Amino acid sequence: MASMVVGIDPGLADTGYAVLETGGPSGPRVVEAGLLKTEPGRPLAQRLAVLHRGLAGLFQAYPAEAVAVEELYTAYRHPRTALLMAHARGVVLLAAAQQGMPVYHYPPARVKRALTGNGRAGKRQVQRMVQQLLVLRSLPEPDHVADALALALCHHLASEAGEVAG
């Protein structure tokens, strides 16, 4: 039975999203993927509102069984980056909750390990595995979209293995 998983790579300037249909006979397939962009220089509240509207529309158009989102990690060289990402991540959680969609959180190392077997894999290696697993003609780009695809795939693989994070 087919179902949908949405992967979200939160960011204030660019939030990557990917919608995968899973459970089909030929494995997971990309239904939709792209970027939600906000305008740099605008007030934070306006940028978050733009992000929320985009996510609300995405979640209404693609009511998925799960939303997989990247966890914040603590090794930020620039704490301001972590704070801005946290704002964007909060908007993702709010929009998903408003649609009644369960959210699953994955640290970057778990996503890398699920796809490549190595929690320290490089971005290119992860992109190649995403390309291979989803039978894409080219490497997924830009990075935020590739990461969203990787998150959705990670959740799909974890679900199949009965190892879903909460």
Strand 3-9, strand 66-70: pairing: parallel
What pLDDT is stored for residue 81 in this prediction? 78
> Is this structure's pTM higher than 0.75?
yes
3-161 architecture in CATH? 2-Layer Sandwich (3.30)
Query: Which residue ranges of the chain lie beneath pLDDT 70?
Result: 1, 74-76, 165-166
pLDDT at 75: 61
pLDDT digits (tens, 9 = 90+) for 111-146: 999 999 999 999 999 999 999 999 999 999 999 999
Return d(Cα 93, Cα 123) in angstroms, integer.
25
Please state whether beta strands 29-37 and 103-106 pair in parallel, antiparallel, or not at all (unpaired): unpaired
Question: What pLDDT shows up at residue 164?
Answer: 75
The per-residue pLDDT for 74 is 61
